[in-house]
Chains A and B, each alone.
Chain A
Amino acid sequence: MYMEEITKLICITCPKGCTLEVQRDGDTVLKVEQGCKRGHEYARRELVDPRRMISSTVKITGGEHPLLPVYTADAFPKPRIPDLMTALRKLGVKAPIRMNQVVLADALGTGINILASRDMPKLSR
């Protein structure tokens, strides 16, 4: 016999925020009730390898503002987010920057790039 647990999880994939009921045995997901296909994928991952899309800023020189908004190209491993923030805090880039330019490749060895969220042209003055 195995031990079944039912964990309730709020799905964050889309704005609906469905409450998923996850039947699991330890780390193994047996079944997911409620939600859609993307939600079920989220549920499976969330229990063993929770990830989040993260947005932040990095310092930039030569542009209109001192900060450039950036974002993770893919959902980033949740436990490593504090280290990511530290890495981003230490980073500095120079204008001009184009949207989706890679500002930090393979962040913390995760294979996930950090991309610029916008253009930031070089200021002429």
Chain B
Amino acid sequence: MDSYDVIIIGGGVVGCMTARTLSRYTLRVLLIDQEADIGMGASSANSAIVHAGYDPLPGTLKAKMNVAANPLWDALAGELNFPFERRGDYVVAVGPGELARLDKLLEQGKANGVPGMHTISADEMRHREPNITPDTSGALWAPTGGICDPFAVTIAAAENALQNGVTLKLDTAFTGFIIEGKKITGIHTSHGDFGCRWVVNAAGMYADEVMHQAGVRPEFQITARRGEYAILDRAEITISNVLFPVPSNISKGILVTATLHGNTLVGPNAENLPDKEEHSVSPGGMAELWEGAKRLIPSLQPRHTIAVFAGLRASGNAACATPGVDYGHDFVIEIPREVEGLVNLGGIESPGLTAAPAIALRVVELLKDAGEKLTEKHDFQPIRPARPIFRHLTHDEQASLIRRDSRYGRVVCRCELVTEGEIMAEIHGPIPATTYDAIKRRTWLGTGRCLGGFDMPRVVDILSRELKIPPETVTKKGPGSEFLIRSTKDVEVADAH
């Protein structure tokens, strides 16, 4: 049985960021995920916002982690080479009645320690966002808010962790703890047992099931709360700002935001679901999205949609541990007493993406507090080398890149200008992309106007060639999702009719 110092269960943004942070130290770290790729849960289906931190209730872990993490993003983006822009965000009041709540948010932000916030007038809001509703009465401006590409963040952190010695095992589902007395000494998985001294529970949607297996927090439950999104064509509408409505009691509301790809993102709504695997987009949900979005930007048209998707929030029911703070959905970040050797993370929903770097640092603190002697590696490499992104280059740089490697000259995804060179780099990358969706997550291929209509046959062909597998076995997202059934002239099957 292979043994590690730390095993992290869950390769989402929190698990990967934690793996990266732990890889600074001379620890043997294993990161496992039950899916075929990292980041396939909430980490790749969210608003991509790095929150300023005025929204969580003061005193909650959500607030603390959000505000602690926010300033870390610039350095991280530089080291890990992922796209991030600190654009600032607006909470837009519609109608005079909402102005009072803006002031309350401002106070809340200050209490949380969010720098630079102030309110602006309706005129100023109209000036900053010409498409904003004429009924706006003013807004709250938070300059420290930002936008990122959340999957890019997750995979960059994972790749850097691998660079620094972390082992990654995908398709590996946690099935149980190995506990001797009160001490965790290992885990059972679908691919065998592994020994360890510490387990970090970063299992997202399934964090409750993991902790229950150690007898921890039996009353803690994670509910899948679906959020649906629509992406609008950048040729039809240009929004350069991040716009929130005044939040309600249950959610931040339906926002309208620029994305780093130049498109506009609308969403999410919020609906609790009984099924943790229900990823579908609902007819009713779309209607809700448009209603909310048009409140802020009346000129938005549903027919400008080029993509829709749904993400599932891992919504927990843990009460905030700070005395006097009445909040029932706080983060769980702790070393529980019921068992030795567990760092327990649960209920990491919004602002989970933002907070991930701070949660990772907190995990290190908790380990130190528990007596772990952490020695820094002298040869830790903080920089994850960037890979060329064809569409971001000038024509001269493109020409130079193609001369170096002619595969960058063959454009496979027309709408997003993704080349064969980039696809090859991901198929043979540190965390290899072996399915269409994995390539899509890494390169944004197939996310443009034609939604893969042009590139799909070409990508299937490339995957078949590079993985040396028949085209009929190339999948969209793992076994069972093959694109093709047989060759057209397959005699036996056809004649069976």
A→B interface (CB under 8 Å):
57-59, 66-67, 85-86, 89-90
Contact = CB atoms under 8 A, between A and B. Distances in A.
A86 B489 contact: no
Contacts, number: 15
B488 A67 contact: yes
15 contacts: A57-B488, A57-B489, A58-B489, A59-B489, A66-B487, A67-B488, A67-B489, A85-B494, A86-B494, A86-B495, A89-B489, A89-B491, A89-B494, A89-B495, A90-B491
Contacts of B488: 57, 67
B464 to A, nearest CB: 13
Nearest to B495: A86
Given A67-B488, A85-B494, 13 more contacts: A57-B488, A57-B489, A58-B489, A59-B489, A66-B487, A67-B489, A86-B494, A86-B495, A89-B489, A89-B491, A89-B494, A89-B495, A90-B491
Interface of B: 487-489, 491, 494-495
Contacts of B495: 86, 89
Closest 9 CB pairs of A and B: A89-B489, A59-B489, A89-B491, A89-B494, A86-B495, A90-B491, A67-B488, A57-B488, A67-B489
Contacts of A67: 488-489
A108 to B, nearest CB: 16
A30 B489 CA distance: 44
A90 B495 CA distance: 11
B148 to A, nearest CB: 42
Contacts of A66: 487
A51 B144 CA distance: 72
A54 B489 CA distance: 16
A59 B488 CA distance: 9
A30 to B, nearest CB: 38
Contacts of A90: 491
A89 B491 CA distance: 6
Contacts of B494: 85-86, 89
A20 B494 CA distance: 35
Contacts of B487: 66
Contacts of B489: 57-59, 67, 89
B235 to A, nearest CB: 33
Nearest to A86: B495
A59 B487 CA distance: 11
A59 B490 CA distance: 10
A21 to B, nearest CB: 35
B72 to A, nearest CB: 52
A90 B488 CA distance: 11
A66 B489 CA distance: 10
A67 B490 CA distance: 12
Nearest to B494: A89
Contacts of A89: 489, 491, 494-495
Contacts of A57: 488-489
Nearest to B497: A82
